């Protein structure tokens, strides 16, 4: 997804303004911590936020509530080449951050700031550090040296060492406010509020993912998946044929959709197929038809199967993707058949 476009911009998104003001207030009262644990759901703007904070802290001439955007330091941050800003990510998305990467960071932390001010480190996602990396980081958190700011970003707090957590000041980022986020997405994408709201439903209220959906035409892929599923139920295509059409796409994403549709209709059949309960409007007719025919017990069982297939993909057990899709879609075919 092209979220990267957004990840690399210092930006405080509107629903995070309170947190921004809170941190700037701490800074103005000289109570700024040396380590922040920035925690919250994916796709709400934590990375942009931490870059904005880095930019602010490094700026030589900060204004009331933002960096000046003009000084040498701001120029360096904007170009992505600030020598006193260190961004640490896994070598590949989804892989752990390793101890060697933390060792390289040590050199940076204990060197002198080249621009004479702060040294800032952003570790994203910090919950992807393996145990050795986390232990190596602990030392730095204990004695970070003067004018150092470490920002650890996380959306899976449970996977972080308690000793790391206890050495950071935790900043919980709220989910995006629905009204504000809808308006923001509509403005960014120049679409009607209804479409923005629908994108937010699909992305589980993640405004940045909503933008990526539109930009990468994931709605087109979604329409293709829905058509394939409908074709199977109506005997227009076999599950093997549809698996053939889909198995080279982003299967984690597709299985995530199917899973949330199942949960949607299971909920709706519990309330006697009340159409108001359905959140996914684009899949509405098919979901309603299924809700009338299939018990919620069966739907949940199918959702479990989909979830299991997703796990197989995520943990890289190298499943045969075509077979995996054939299985998921074969079960889909028999879902309404007693
Ligand atoms: Zn500046």
Residue 242 has pLDDT above 70, yes or no: yes
Question: Residue 76 Cα, ligand 1 centroid: separation in angstroms?
Answer: 9
Q: What one-character DSSP code corresponds to residue 308?
A: H
Q: Which residues on neighbouring strands pair with residue 129, listed in sequence order? A: 97
Peptide bond into 125 cis (omega under 30): yes
Q: Which residues on neighbouring strands pair with residue 148, listed in sequence order? A: 119
- Count of CB atoms within 10 A of residue 31's CB? 9
Q: What is the pLDDT of residue 139?
A: 86
Helices (H) and strands (E) in the chain, counts: 16, 5
- Count of CB atoms within 10 A of residue 42's CB? 14
Alpha helices in the chain (DSSP H): 4-7, 17-28, 46-58, 72-79, 99-109, 131-142, 162-166, 178-189, 193-202, 207-215, 218-233, 239-246, 251-270, 284-293, 296-314, 321-334
- Residue 314, burial from CB neighbour count under 10 angstroms (0-12, 13-18, 19+): exposed
Per-residue pLDDT of 276-290, as tens digits, reads 556 666 778 888 888
- Is residue 166 within 8 Å of residue 148, measured between CB atoms? no
Q: What is the pLDDT of residue 1?
A: 39
Q: What is the pLDDT of residue 2?
A: 40
- Is residue 73 within 8 Å of residue 59, measured between CB atoms? yes
- Residue 93, burial from CB neighbour count under 10 angstroms (0-12, 13-18, 19+): exposed
End-to-end CA distance of the chain: 39
Question: Residue 159 Cα, ligand 1 centroid: separation in angstroms?
Answer: 36
Question: Residue 62 Cα, ligand 1 centroid: separation in angstroms?
Answer: 6
Strand order in the sheet with 119-123: 85-88, 119-123, 148-154, 35-39, 169-172
Question: Residue 46 Cα, ligand 1 centroid: separation in angstroms?
Answer: 21
Per-residue pLDDT of 169-191, as tens digits, reads 999 999 899 999 999 999 999 99
Q: Write out the two tokens for 180.
A: 């504000």
What is the mean pLDDT of the segment spanning 253-261?
91
Per-residue pLDDT of 21-48, as tens digits, reads 999 999 999 888 999 999 999 889 999 9
Question: Residue 35 Cα, ligand 1 centroid: separation in angstroms?
Answer: 22
Q: Write out the two tokens for 55.
A: 């930019």
Q: What is the pLDDT of residue 186?
A: 95
Per-residue pLDDT of 56-98, as tens digits, reads 999 999 988 899 999 999 999 988 889 999 999 998 877 899 9
CATH number corresponding to 217-334 = 1.20.272.10
Average pLDDT in the chain: 88
DSSP 134-153: HHHHHHHHHS--TTEEEEEE
Cα 307 to chain centroid, rounded: 18
Domain positions in the chain: 4-172, 217-334
Percent of the chain's residues with pLDDT above 70: 93
CATH number corresponding to 4-172 = 3.40.50.300
Q: What is the pLDDT of residue 338?
A: 64
Question: Residue 58 Cα, ligand 1 centroid: separation in angstroms?
Answer: 7
Question: Residue 55 Cα, ligand 1 centroid: separation in angstroms?
Answer: 8
Q: What is the pLDDT of residue 155?
A: 92
Q: What is the pLDDT of residue 123?
A: 96
Residue 160 has pLDDT above 60, yes or no: yes
Question: Residue 68 Cα, ligand 1 centroid: separation in angstroms?
Answer: 4
Question: Residue 60 Cα, ligand 1 centroid: separation in angstroms?
Answer: 5
Q: What is the dihedral of CA 268, 270, 271, 276, to 10 degrees?
A: -10
């Amino acid at each position: 997804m092209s979220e990267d476009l957004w990840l690399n911009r210092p930006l405080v998104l509107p629903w995070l303004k309170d947190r921004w003001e809170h941190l700037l207030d701490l800074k103005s009262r000289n109570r700024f911590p040396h380590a922040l644990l920035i925690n919250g759901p994916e796709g709400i703007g934590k990375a942009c936020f931490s870059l904005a904070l880095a930019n602010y802290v490094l700026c030589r001439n900060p204004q009331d509530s933002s960096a000046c955007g003009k000084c040498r330091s701001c120029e360096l941050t904007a170009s992505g080449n600030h020598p006193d800003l260190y961004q640490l990510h896994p070598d590949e998305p989804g892989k752990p951050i390793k101890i060697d990467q933390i060792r390289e960071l040590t050199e940076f932390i204990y060197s002198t700031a080249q621009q004479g001010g702060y040294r800032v480190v952003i570790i994203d996602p910090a919950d992807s550090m393996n145990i050795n990396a986390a232990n190596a980081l602990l030392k730095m958190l204990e004695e970070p040296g003067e004018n150092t700011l470490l920002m650890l970003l996380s959306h899976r707090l449970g996977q972080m060492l308690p000793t790391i957590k206890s050495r950071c000041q935790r900043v919980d980022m709220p989910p995006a406010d629905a009204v504000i986020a809808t308006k923001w997405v509509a403005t960014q994408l120049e679409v009607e509020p209804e479409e923005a709201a629908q994108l937010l439903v699909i992305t589980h209220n993640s405004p940045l993912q909503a933008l990526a959906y539109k930009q990468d035409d994931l709605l087109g892929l979604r329409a293709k998946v829905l058509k394939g599923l409908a074709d199977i139920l109506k005997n227009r295509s076999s599950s093997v044929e549809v698996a053939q059409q889909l198995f080279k796409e982003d299967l984690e994403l597709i299985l995530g959709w199917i899973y949330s549709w199942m949960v949607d209709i299971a909920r709706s059949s519990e309330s006697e197929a009340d159409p108001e309960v359905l959140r996914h409007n684009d899949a509405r007719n098919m979901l309603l038809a299924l809700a009338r025919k299939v018990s919620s017990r069966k739907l949940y069982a199918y959702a479990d199967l989909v979830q299991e297939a997703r796990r197989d993909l995520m943990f890289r057990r190298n499943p045969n993707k075509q077979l995996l899709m054939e299985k998921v879609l074969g079960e889909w075919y028999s879902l309404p058949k007693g």
